[in-house]
Amino acid sequence: MIYKNIGQRIQKAREEAGLSQEELATKLGLTQAALSNYELGKRRLYLANIEQIARELNKPLNYFLEDTVETIKTNEKKAQDETILEISKLLSELPLEERKNILEYIQWRKEKLK
């Protein structure tokens, strides 16, 4: 997963720099197949590899790593959003009186957590 995300970033940065896989591979001293495997996330990328690629493509190291972190963050966010979605879906199926009770309960919980 991690390598796939980093690989996509490498491809994006390479294309932005207007380089073909072959051109970047030559600069890095790699074969085109090896770079292609990096971009596809099939080969293990060590930090040193990423640092070298970052230098060649003139990007900060974080450009390649933050993506991984971002994906994790969005996954975490998504999980939260899904619970909210689920709650509102179930709530809408309840009669008004019940919905009011639950609203009160949520307000009470929120008060308690303060």
Residue 19 or 65 with smaller CB distance to another protein:
65
Binding-site size for another protein (CB under 8 A) equals 20
Amino acid identity, position 69: V
Smallest gap from Cβ 13 to another protein, in A, equals 17
First to last CA, the chain: 38
- Rounded to whole angstroms, what are the CA distances from 12 to 31, 68, 82, 95, 100? 19, 14, 30, 51, 50
Q: Residue 70: CB partners within 8 Å, gap ≥ 6?
A: none
In three-state secondary structure terms, 59 is coil
Q: Does 101 bind another protein (CB under 8 A)?
A: no
Selected binder of another protein within 23, 41, 52, 56 (CB under 8 A): 41
In three-state secondary structure terms, 37 is helix
Q: Does 19 bind another protein (CB under 8 A)?
A: no
Smallest gap from Cβ 64 to another protein, in A, equals 9
Q: Does 72 bind another protein (CB under 8 A)?
A: yes
Q: Does 74 bind another protein (CB under 8 A)?
A: no
Where along the sequence are the contacts to another protein (CB under 8 A)?
Answer: 1-3, 37, 41-44, 46-48, 51, 61-62, 65-66, 68-69, 72-73
